[in-house]
């Protein structure tokens, strides 16, 4: 693992990390803890932090960092994943770190990886010999280029996947907005239809009432005209139309219960008080 880390560092002109047994012990303890509880976290099951785990190993650190991962088949795969993650990559390429320790632990064939980075304030003297990151090796340079191309391709694929996810999210948002607008338009149309239907019913009821009330009004008007036509032009009755029985002209009571005066005017019994007419012998 340290050779893979140093390979990435030397390609970028950074000093390689030296192995440290205390950091390796801290990494092994954290990997064991993760595997035991089947959880990947920078916090231990007891709530410990990377710095606290380094303190337990009595590592005199001035700077400390940690990378964790699980489920990858080998160290090469997990390194590719870390180098494509900004935070993990910053730990691997951080120039303030001089020492390194790593470990892996398993739970039912599932690996849990830990990398511990640290510095005591001075460079390490325990630099491992790793020929595969020798800058003078032309074959290794070509391999490094190939590795870079693979990482770039993987990064491009991830970027494409991210863009597709964003487009899908945008499409779903637009679809939801469209459905919401259609639902609002449908409700508005239904409300408008109900309003027009109610307005039509009100107009129809008005027409029905008019058709029903009109004959009654005509009948009442006809009766009123029938009553008034006998006395309207008779100056002897004044403006009240002969409603006052005290001014009934002299005449005789017709046999059909109509009063006919000396001038030949005929008056219905409605214009006289019943009691007065009955005295004269009319039963109606």
Cβ neighbours around 218 below 10 Å, total: 10
Of 66, 82, 71, residue with least CA distance to 29: 66
Residue 48 and residue 272: Cα distance in Å, rounded?
Answer: 117
Residue 263: exposure state from Cβ atoms within 10 A (0-12, 13-18, ≥19) = exposed
Q: What is the reported pTM?
A: 0.48
Residue 140 and residue 39: Cα distance in Å, rounded?
Answer: 37
Residue 217's pLDDT is what? 78
* Beta bridge mates, 18: 99
Residue-level pLDDT, tens digit, the chain, 284 residues:
999 999 999 988 899 999 999 999 999 999 999 999 999 999 999 999 999 999 999 999 999 999 999 999 889 999 999 999 999 999 999 999 999 999 999 998 899 999 999 999 888 888 888 865 544 444 455 555 666 676 667 667 777 888 888 888 899 999 999 999 999 999 999 999 999 888 888 888 888 877 777 777 777 777 777 665 544 444 444 444 444 433 344 444 444 455 555 555 555 555 554 444 444 444 44
Residue 104 and residue 127: Cα distance in Å, rounded?
Answer: 21
Helix (H) or strand (E) holding 259: strand 259-261
């Amino acid at each position: 693992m340290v050779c893979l880390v140093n390979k990435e560092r030397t390609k970028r002109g950074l000093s390689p990390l030296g192995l440290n047994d205390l950091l390796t012990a801290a990494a092994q303890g954290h990997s064991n803890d993760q595997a035991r509880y089947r959880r990947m976290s920078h916090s231990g099951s007891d709530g410990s932090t990377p710095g606290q785990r380094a303190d337990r190993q009595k590592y005199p650190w001035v700077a400390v960092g940690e990378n964790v991962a699980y489920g990858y088949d080998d160290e090469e795969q997990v390194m590719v994943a870390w180098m494509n993650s900004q935070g993990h990559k910053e730990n691997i390429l951080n120039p303030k770190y001089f020492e390194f320790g790593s470990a892996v632990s398993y739970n039912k064939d599932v690996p849990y990886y830990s990398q511990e980075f640290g510095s005591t304030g001075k460079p390490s003297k325990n630099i491992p010999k790793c020929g595969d990151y020798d800058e003078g090796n032309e074959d290794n340079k070509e391999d490094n280029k190939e590795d870079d191309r693979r990482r770039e391709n993987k990064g491009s694929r991830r970027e494409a996947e991210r863009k597709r996810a964003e487009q899908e999210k945008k499409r779903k948002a637009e679809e939801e907005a469209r459905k919401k607008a259609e639902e609002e338009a449908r409700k508005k149309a239904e409300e408008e239809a109900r309003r027009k239907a109610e307005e039509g019913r009100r107009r129809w009821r008005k027409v029905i009432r008019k058709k029903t009330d009109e004959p009654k009004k005509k009948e009442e008007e006809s009766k009123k005209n029938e009553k008034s036509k006998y006395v309207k032009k008779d100056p002897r009755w004044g403006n009240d139309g002969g409603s006052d029985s005290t001014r009934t002209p002299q005449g005789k009571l017709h046999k059909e219960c109509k009063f006919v005066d000396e001038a030949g005017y005929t008056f219905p019994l409605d214009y006289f008080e019943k009691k007065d007419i009955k005295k004269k012998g009319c039963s109606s």
